[in-house]
């Protein structure tokens, strides 16, 4: 169960899918932003671990000892993955949504929360109360930084938190995290990063960014579903009521009361997802072994994708910001005259290409950027090849050349052949 060190872009599991014609093709998974296919190394590691999983922290048996060891080693892997401070807590959760909800329950009462309204619903919705300030996302990054500055200046005295995504799940654009963190500091505010979309593409350093919390999902980091993490300052987490009440979170239970743990276990009640956490830790180690290979692979394919999309008539890309800035390999667009759901169905049925259509759990952002209800999203990752990208560009040219006259039905509210 020792971690394997790699020096190239890690391989993902590939599949073949049936087309409407009956033939099969290699699946062009262009939906990494939703969930990334498992790394081959993660599959192998999980396979090796499966005979060993057992209850962690509460068993003397050999398998329990092995499980406890790899579970805690995954905690260290997460700490390294986001370059956390040694005093930060690493709490295992189900995913980013779970992590941000946990944080929302853990912040002190009357905390003022400042965030942009184009955030993913996982970051937008957990915050309640009169002190939540949603800013309409400005059209430039510079204006975004000053909007946070002004919003924080108007907050009442007391704890303050800025919640911000690292990379937009709609447009792939990076947010000015470092600059916003500096503004937050100026006002004595903390900052929580929704790392769901940034973490699979860029090294995150809590120390260098001066960010207090980050939330990530294993299934976006090339590990299977069910494990995620919240990493960050331990004090609020230690003081908060346990996220879940139950075994594992307690030090002592008597007839008269409960003494809860003050460490990470406080928020990890119940038997944890040991296999998922192990897989997440291995995925983090694999990804961070060579960030330059990961980014070079994606940047080359993103350039190729954007050149390909530029040749599709009537296609317009969605952008949050008018100024140019760094971005990950996620591109959303609309094609004039074509419903995104229909296009997605044709791409799947006739070309074996998986993309996402809809509003991407960011309804405000999608409505504002399209003027409608939906768009099509293409998102690249380690499993993407030049052939996948070229197939998509060719498919969109062919579909738009023949017009929207192919017959697809909508049996369950979704387009299908």
Whose Cβ is closer to ligand PMP: residue 64's or residue 101's? 101
Q: Minimum distance from CB of 410 to ligand PMP (Å)? A: 24
According to CB under 6 A, which residues from 376 to 415 bind ligand PMP?
none
Q: How many residues bind ligand PMP (CB under 6 A)?
A: 13
Q: Of residues 67, 95, 112, 379, which one binds ligand PMP by CB under 6 A?
A: 95
Q: Minimum distance from CB of 195 to ligand PMP (Å)? A: 8
Q: Of residues 217, 286, 332, 348, which one binds ligand PMP by CB under 6 A?
A: 217
According to CB under 6 A, which residues from 244 to 273 bind ligand PMP?
none
Q: Of residues 101, 131, 197, 379, which one binds ligand PMP by CB under 6 A?
A: 197
Q: Minimum distance from CB of 100 to ligand PMP (Å)? A: 7
Whose Cβ is closer to ligand PMP: residue 180's or residue 346's? 180
Q: Minimum distance from CB of 23 to ligand PMP (Å)? A: 32
Dihedrals phi, psi of 161, to nearest 5 degrees:
-140, 130
Q: Of residues 29, 101, 131, 165, which one binds ligand PMP by CB under 6 A?
A: 165
CA angle 228, 234, 238 (to 5 degrees): 100
104 near ligand PMP, rule: CB under 6 A = no
For 107, what's the count of Cα atoms within 13 Å in the CB-facing half-sphere? 27
Q: Minimum distance from CB of 267 to ligand PMP (Å)? A: 16
Residues 6+ apart with CB under 8 A from 377: 31, 33, 170, 330, 331, 332, 355, 356, 357, 360
Phi-psi region of 156 (alpha: psi -120 to 50; beta: other; left: phi over 0): beta
Contact assessment for residue 315 and residue 306, using Cβ atoms and an 8 Å cutoff = no
Q: Minimum distance from CB of 217 to ligand PMP (Å)? A: 3
According to CB under 6 A, which residues from 293 to 322 bind ligand PMP?
none
Q: Minimum distance from CB of 354 to ligand PMP (Å)? A: 15
Residue among 246, 207, 235, 249 at smallest CA distance from 106: 235
SS3 call for 295: helix
Q: Of residues 112, 137, 169, 332, which one binds ligand PMP by CB under 6 A?
A: 169
Interaxial angle between packed helices 141-153 and 177-186, expressed in degrees from 0 to 180 and rounded to the nearest 10: 20
Contact assessment for residue 329 and residue 201, using Cβ atoms and an 8 Å cutoff = yes
Contact assessment for residue 98 and residue 170, using Cβ atoms and an 8 Å cutoff = no
Per-residue binding letters, 113-152, with ligand PMP (x by CB under 6 A): -------x-xx-----------------------------
Select the span of 93-101, 137-145, 255-263, 350-358 touching ligand PMP (CB under 6 A): 93-101
SS3 call for 28: strand
97 near ligand PMP, rule: CB under 6 A = yes
Select the span of 77-85, 130-138, 190-198, 267-275 touching ligand PMP (CB under 6 A): 190-198
The beta-strand segments (E) located in 74-181 are 89-93, 112-116, 132-135, 160-165
The beta-strand segments (E) located in 170-276 are 190-194, 213-217, 228-232, 250-254, 257-260
Per-residue binding letters, 345-364, with ligand PMP (x by CB under 6 A): ----------------x---
| Alpha-carbon span 216 to 208, nearest angstrom | 18
Select the span of 155-163, 191-199, 200-208, 318-326 touching ligand PMP (CB under 6 A): 191-199
Is the dihedral angle over the CA atoms 330, 404, 339, 369 positive or is it negative? positive
365 near ligand PMP, rule: CB under 6 A = no
Contact assessment for residue 31 and residue 354, using Cβ atoms and an 8 Å cutoff = yes
Whose Cβ is closer to ligand PMP: residue 12's or residue 96's? 96
| Alpha-carbon span 169 to 160, nearest angstrom | 25
SS3 call for 400: helix
Whose Cβ is closer to ligand PMP: residue 89's or residue 175's? 175
What residues make contact with ligand PMP under the rule CB under 6 A? Answer: 95-97, 120, 122-123, 165, 169, 194, 196-197, 217, 361
């Amino acid at each position: 169960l020792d971690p394997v060190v790699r020096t190239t872009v890690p391989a993902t599991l590939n599949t073949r899918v049936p087309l409407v014609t009956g033939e099969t093709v290699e699946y062009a998974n262009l939906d990494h932003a939703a969930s990334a296919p498992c790394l081959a190394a993660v599959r192998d590691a999980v396979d090796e671990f499966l005979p060993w999983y057992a209850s962690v922290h509460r068993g003397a048996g050999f398998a329990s000892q092995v499980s406890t060891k790899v579970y805690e080693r995954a905690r260290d892997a997460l700490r390294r993955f986001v370059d956390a401070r040694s005093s930060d807590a690493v709490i295992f959760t189900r995913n980013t949504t779970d992590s941000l909800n946990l944080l929302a329950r853990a912040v002190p009462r009357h905390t003022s929360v400042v965030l942009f309204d184009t955030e993913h619903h996982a970051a937008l919705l957990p915050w309640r109360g009169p002190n939540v300030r949603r800013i309409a996302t400005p059209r430039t990054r510079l204006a975004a930084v000053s909007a946070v500055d002004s919003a924080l200046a108007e907050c009442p005295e007391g704890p303050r938190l800025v919640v911000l995504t690292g990379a937009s799940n709609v447009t792939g654009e990076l947010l000015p995290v470092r600059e916003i963190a500096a503004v937050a500091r100026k006002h004595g505010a903390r900052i929580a990063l929704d790392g769901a979309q940034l973490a699979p593409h860029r090294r995150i350093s809590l120390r260098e960014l001066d960010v207090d919390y980050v939330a990530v999902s294993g299934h976006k980091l090339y590990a299977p579903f069910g494990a995620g993490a919240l990493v960050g300052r331990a004090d609020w987490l230690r003081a908060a009521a346990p996220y879940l009440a139950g075994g594992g979170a307690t030090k002592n239970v008597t007839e008269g009361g409960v003494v809860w743990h003050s460490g990470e276990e406080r928020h990890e009640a119940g038997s944890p997802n040991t296999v998922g956490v192990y897989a997440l830790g291995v995925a983090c180690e694999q990804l961070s072994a060579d960030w330059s290979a990961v980014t070079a692979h994606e940047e080359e394919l993103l350039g190729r994708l954007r050149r390909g999309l530029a040749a599709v008539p009537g296609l317009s890309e969605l952008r949050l910001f008018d100024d140019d800035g760094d971005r990950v390999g996620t591109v959303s667009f609309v094609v004039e005259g074509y419903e995104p759901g229909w296009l997605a169905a044709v791409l799947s049925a006739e070309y074996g290409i998986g993309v996402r259509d809809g509003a991407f759990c960011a309804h405000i952002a999608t409505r504002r950027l399209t003027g409608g209800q939906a768009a099509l999203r293409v998102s690249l990752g380690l499993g993407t090849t030049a052939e996948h990208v070229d197939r998509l560009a060719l498919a969109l040219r062919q579909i738009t050349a023949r017009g929207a006259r192919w017959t697809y039905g909508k049996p369950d509210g979704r387009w299908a052949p």
